Structure 1
Amino acid sequence: MKKKLSQYIGLVAVSILLVACGDNVASDQESQSSMSDLATESYENQIIEINGLADHYHTGDSVELSALPEKETETTQWQWYTRENEESEWKVVSGQRTKDFIGEATADGLEIKAALVDDNDEPYAESEPAKIVIDDHHGHDEASKQIYAGYFEDDQVENRELSDFEGEWQSVFPYLQSGDLDEVFEHKAEESDAMTAAEYKDYYTIGYETTVDQVVIEGNQVTFYDDEKDYSGTYENDGYEILNYEKGNRGVRFVFKLVDGSDEMPEYIQFSDHNIFPEESHHYHLFWGDDRDTVLEEMDNWPTYYPADLDATGLVQDMLAH
C-alpha cells in the first residue's frame, strides 16, 4: 500500500512538473510573440523615405535607391516592390532584401516602394511609391547628341515659353561647396585630359556661384529666394539669341523681360539648357541683370538649377548621365 502511494505521489509530482514546464514554454513563446508584436507595432507608423531617385533616367541607366527609415530599426528585413502603373498590382522584386535597391531603367512610369517586413514577409511599414521617369531627350540619336553639344543650324531653333522652365528649382552651388559633387569632377577628369578633378572643381565653382538658392516659376511669375529673402516678378517673352562660343560650338539664350514685380528682380532673365526648341527643361543655366546685351556677354558665371526634390545622390546621378 505504501509502495503504491509512493508511486502515485511521484506521478503527481511529475505531472505538476510537466505542466509547469509547459506553462513556462507557452509563457516564453507568448512573451517572444508579444515582444515581436510590440516591435512591429512600434514601427507601424514608421516613415520611410527613398533616397537617390534621379529627376529622370535614360533607357538602360542604373537605378540605385536607398530606403531610409525615420527611426532606428533592429530588423534588417526589407523587401522591394514594383508595379507598372497605379492600376497594376504590386510585385515582389526578388533578390532585393536590403535597404538598397539596384536595378535598370527600362520602363517609363514604373513605381517602386520599399517595405519593412516581419518573419512572414508581411509588410508593416512602407514608403510612398517612387516613380521612374525615362526621358531620352538628349540620348541616343546622333542629331540630339549634336544639338546638346551645341552644333545645330539656325533654322532648327524655335522660340520657347516660360512654361518650359516651370517648377521649383534648387541651386547646385551648395552641393559643390559641401563636396557632394566631387565624384562628378573626378569622373570628368577620367573622361578627359583637359583638366584635373581639382581644376574642374575650380571651374565649376566660378560657374555655379550664386546667392539665389531657389527659383520658383509658376505661369509668368518668377520668384528668387536669395539669402532667405524672396522677390517676385512677372515676365514676358523677349525672344532668343544664338551665341557663338570660342570652342566652335553654339548655344541659345531664351530671354524674358520683367513687366511687373519687386524692385530687386532683374529686368532680364535668360535661360540656357542645351535645348533649342520647345521642350520641358530638366535643368538649366540662368543668367540675369538689368541690361539685355550685358547679360548676353556673361560666359563665366552661369548659376545652375535642378528640380528642388532631388537629393545629393539623385543630383550626382543625373550629372553623371550627361
Structure 2
Amino acid sequence: MNFPHSRRMGGIALGALLALGQPALAEDKSHDHAHEHEHAHDADSKRIYDGYFEDHEIQTRSLEDWQGDWQSVYPLLTDGTLAPVMEHKAESGSKTAEEYTAYYEIGYKTDVDRIEISGDVFTFHSGDQAVSGHYASDGYEVLTYAKGNRGVRYIFEKIEGDAEAPQFVQFSDHAVAPTDAGHFHLYWGDDRAALLEEVTNWPTYYPAELSGAEIVDEMISH
C-alpha cells in the first residue's frame, strides 16, 4: 500500500488513491447517481440531497455519522454486479448503459477496497495491506457545482497515526446536517485545497455487510 504525499489518489495506488474522492459528483451531482439516503424521502430532504439548501441549514458533523465497516463499490462495477443499475439509469438518462459504466469506472475507481471507521480511527485496506490514523474535525467547505447546486465537504485531519495514512479525508454524502450515512463518497490525500478541486473521481462506499445484490437494490430503488 502506497499513500504518496501528493494530491492524486483515486483508483490508483492507496496514496494516490487517497486524493481522489467524491466531489467529482460536482458536475453531474444532480444526477447520474442512482442512490439516495433512506432519510431523503420528504420534500426538504430531497431538495437538500439534490444540492439545494440554504446556508443556515448547514450544521457541523462528527465522525459518529460514518462509523462502521465500509466496502468500495468499484469491484462490483468491474465484475458486472452493477450492470442492472447502469441499465436502469440508461432507461431514463442521457447515456447508454455502456456510457454510464464508463462514467462510473472513472468515478468509483480506487484500490482502497475497504475502510473501517471506529471512534476517531480510520483504517484503509488495500488488498492485504492496511494503514491507520486518528482524525479530528477540520470543519467543512461548501462547494458550488456547474449546474448551480451545491454540496458540503466535511473534512477531517490526521492528528496521529501511520505515516502512509492520508493527512486529510473529506466526506460527501449529500447531507448537510448530522445523520447516519447510508453510503458516502470519500476524498483523501495530503493537500486539503487540492482535494476540494477533485470532481472526477469519488470512491464510493456502502456498508460492508450488504451483498452485491442488496447494493444493486439500494441504488435502483432510489
Q: TM-score, normalised by structure 1?
A: 0.57
Gaps of 5+ in 1: 1-134
| Deviation of the 1:243 alpha carbon | 0.4
Which of 128, 141, 147 is matched with 2:48 structurally? 147
Distance of 1:318 and 1:232 partners within structure 2: 29
| Deviation of the 1:238 alpha carbon | 0.4
Q: Secondary structure at the match of 2:155?
A: strand
Which of 60, 65, 68 is matched with 1:167 structurally? 68
2:168 equivalent to 1:268: yes
Distance of 2:97 and 2:52 partners within structure 1: 26
| Deviation of the 1:136 alpha carbon | 4.3
| Deviation of the 1:228 alpha carbon | 1.5
2:40 equivalent to 1:138: yes
Which of 112, 124, 147 is matched with 1:212 structurally? 112
- Percent identity, please: 51
Distance of 1:227 and 1:313 partners within structure 2: 22
| Deviation of the 1:245 alpha carbon | 0.5
| Partner deviation per Cα, 1:73-122 (whole Å, 9 max, x = no partner) | xxxxxxxxxxxxxxxxxxxxxxxxxxxxxxxxxxxxxxxxxxxxxxxxxx
Q: Which residue of 2 aligns with 1:177?
A: 78
Q: Which residue of 1 aligns with 2:204?
A: 304
Aligned residues: 186
How well do the aligned residues superpose, as a CA RMSD in angstroms? 0.9
Residues 136 and 225 (structure 1), Cα distance of their counterparts in 2 relative to 1, 3 Å cut? closer
2:135 equivalent to 1:235: yes
Distance of 2:113 and 2:164 partners within structure 1: 15
Distance of 2:141 and 2:216 partners within structure 1: 30
The runs of 4+ residues in structure 1 deviating greater than 3 Å are: none
| Partner deviation per Cα, 1:153-193 (whole Å, 9 max, x = no partner) | 1110001001110000000000001001010011111122x
Q: Which residue of 1 aligns with 2:125?
A: 225
Q: Which residue of 2 aligns with 1:68?
A: none
Gaps of 5+ in 2: 1-36
Q: TM-score, normalised by structure 2?
A: 0.82
| Deviation of the 1:263 alpha carbon | 0.9
Higher relative contact order (CA 8 A, sep 6+): 2
Distance of 2:132 and 2:38 partners within structure 1: 33
Distance of 1:201 and 1:213 partners within structure 2: 19
Larger Rg: 1
The amino acid that maps onto 1:149 is D
